[in-house]
Amino acid sequence: MSKVIAFAGKGGVGKTTVAALVIRSLSRQGKTPILAVDADPNSNLGETLGLDVTTTIGDIRENFMRDPQGVPSGMDKTIYLETLVEQALIEKPQFDLLVMGRQEGQGCYCMVNNILHNFTDRLTRSYRYMVVDNEAGMEHLSRRTSGQVDMLFLITDYSLRGLRALKRINEMLAGLKLSVNDLGIVVTRAPARLNDKFLEEVEEIGLPIVGIIPDDPALIDFDMEKRSLMELPDDSPAVVAVDSLLLEKCPA
């Protein structure tokens, strides 16, 4: 069974960047195979990793719902959908990527969703690590049949708005069918010292800060140049911070 590392936080706080850096760190440490799952409807993990995404699980679901009779003659619907998911999987030497894509439209998706969720759950068992970039509501994680998350990192930038979003996400966790082994806050774009007001808000949430990622100009440069974060140098401050985080949380 793969170890699941997941990320949640409001949009724009650097959640996807941290997910990409974790994938980079795990792959450099030889902790492979890795399945990266982009479960945020605003899908851009592939872009951050330097990949062009042409098909998502959402596309497969919507296309099937538009034409449920379009299954090739003699092929079972389940096998057909599973084949499409395998084709949507982007395979790279360092990791594989699966993009969940758009949310459901109107109509009953129960049958197709059950097939897709069961298959993706089975797929993850072939990997040592699964790294999941989530939407704030963590819908994808809550639907996993295993319901198991080894590490859930709540991501915020250095802002009180970001922290308050994490507080809401943390409160929501109690109502989800998830078993989370390890839970902590990661602060992005952080100054050398976190001020007292910020730390007071963290204390109210009741979770530890497990990682602090400093402001790193290289991240902006790579974004502007549309370069993969997998190519960041080892001495990049953001890379060093994430490597240190994983050394503590994933020592084996």
- Secondary structure of residue 152 in the 3-state scheme: strand
N-term to C-term CA, the chain: 15
Segments forming the whole domain that contains residue 210: 3-249
In the structure, what pLDDT confidence band is assigned to residue 145 with cuts at 50, 70 and 90? Answer: very low
**Number of domains present in the structure of the chain:** 1
Q: Tell me the average pLDDT of the chain.
A: 88
The first and second tokens of residue 199, run together, are: 């730390």
Over residues 21-32, mean pLDDT: 95
- Radius of gyration of the chain from Cα atoms? 18
177 has a pLDDT exceeding 80:
no
Question: What residues have CB less than 8 Å from 213, skipping those under 6 apart?
Answer: 14, 18, 21, 186, 187, 188, 189, 190, 237, 238, 241, 242
CA 242 – CA 245 distance, rounded (Å):
5
Give me the DSSP letters along 20-87: HHHHHHHHHTT---EEEEEE-SS--HHHHTT------HHHHHHHHHH-TT-SPTT--HHHHHHHHHHH
Over residues 30-50, mean pLDDT: 90
Q: Which of 200, 188, 181 is nearest to 237 (CA)?
A: 188
25 has a pLDDT exceeding 60:
yes
- State residue 159's pLDDT score: 95
pLDDT per residue as tens digits for the range 183-230: 999 999 999 999 999 999 999 999 999 999 999 999 999 999 999 999
The first and second tokens of residue 137, run together, are: 């509501």
| 50, 23 Cβ separation under 8 angstroms | no
Rounded to 5 degrees, what are φ and ψ at 89? -70, 125
61 has a pLDDT exceeding 90:
no
The first and second tokens of residue 170, run together, are: 């943390």
- State residue 10's pLDDT score: 87
* Cα–Cα separations (whole angstroms), residue 48 to 64, 198, 226, 231: 29, 29, 8, 11
- State residue 146's pLDDT score: 57
Over residues 134-155, mean pLDDT: 75
- State residue 142's pLDDT score: 63
List the CATH number of the domain containing 135: 3.40.50.300
Q: Which of 138, 192, 136, 155 is nearest to 14 (CA)?
A: 155
Report which of residues 40 and 204 the model is more confident about. 204
| 117, 124 Cβ separation under 8 angstroms | no
